[in-house]
Amino acid sequence: MKVIQTALDGVLILEPRVFEDERGLFYESYHASRYTEVLNQPIQFVQDNHSHSVQHVLRGLHLQTRKPQGKLIQVVRGAIFDVAVDLRPKSTTYAQWFGLELTAVSHQQLWIPSGFAHGFLTLSETADVHYKVTDYYDPGYELSLRWDDPTIQIRWPTSESVQLSDKDRDAMTLQQIMDQFATDH
C-alpha cells in the first residue's frame, strides 16, 4: 500500500495495491494489521457507514466532540470532493483544510483522525461512499461546521448551488464553535 502524507498532520491518502486484468479487479480495502502499521497506532473500527448521494449534494462538515471519530473513507461508485478541517485546538494546522477528489476508479482512501470536521461534495451523477469509524455515532455530541465558513475558505470545485440538509444549512461558523467551547469549558 502506498501512503501519501497531506499538509495536515495525520491525514493520509492511502492507495491499496490493486490487481486488475481482463476479468476485473481485486484489492484489500481493509486489513487490520497493515492499517495498524501504516497509521502507526492500533485502530479499532466499531461502525461502517454507507452514504448514497446525488450530484451537488454536500454532506458536512461534521465533527463529534466527546466521542470523536477517526474515519477511513473510500468511494465505491462515482466521485466526491472530500474535505477534512483540522479542529484540534493545539494543532499547528488548526482551522486549515485539505480536500481531495476520491473516485471509485482510483481506489484511493482517505484516513482522517479524530479531531477533524469532515464533509464531501458529490461530483458525479450519484456517488456511494463507504467509511469506517472508530467510535459510535452519537447525535448529542455532533457539531456541524458551515461548509462555506469565511475563516476557513474551502475552495469547493463547483459553481453550481449545493444541496444541503437542514442540519448542514444551520451549521455554525468556526467563530461560533470557538465561542461555544469557550463557554462550555
Pairing of β 116-122 and β 58-64: antiparallel
Q: What percent of the chain has pLDDT over 70?
A: 97
Say if residues 60 and 46 touch (Cβ distance below 8 Å).
no
Residue 136: give its domain's CATH number. Answer: 2.60.120.10
Q: Across the chain, what does the average pLDDT equal?
A: 92
* pLDDT reported for residue 51: 97
Number of compact structural domains in the chain? 1
Burial tier of 16 (Cβ tally within 10 Å: 0-12, 13-18, 19+): middle
Is the entire prediction scored with pTM above 0.85? yes
Q: Of the listed 35, 107, 118, 131, which one is catalytic?
A: 131
Beta bridge partners of 175: none
| 20-70 per-position pLDDT tens digit | 889 987 878 887 888 888 888 888 999 999 999 999 999 999 999 888 999
Q: Is residue 114's pLDDT more than 90?
A: yes
Give the active site residue among 35, 62, 107, 118: 62
> Using only C-alpha atoms, what is the Rg of the chain?
16
Q: Looking at beta carbons, which pairs linking 40-44 to residues 24 or more positions away fall under 8 Å?
A: 43/70, 43/134, 44/134
Confidence at residue 50, expressed as pLDDT on a 0 to 100 scale: 97
Q: Active site includes 62?
A: yes
Does the annotation count 118 as an active-site position?
Answer: no
Do the Cβ atoms of 62 and 151 come closer than 8 Å? no
Domain that holds residue 165: 2-184
Read off the pLDDT of residues 59-107 as tens digits, 9 standing for 90 and up.
999 999 888 999 999 999 999 999 999 999 899 999 999 999 999 999 9
Residue 3 has pLDDT above 60, yes or no: yes
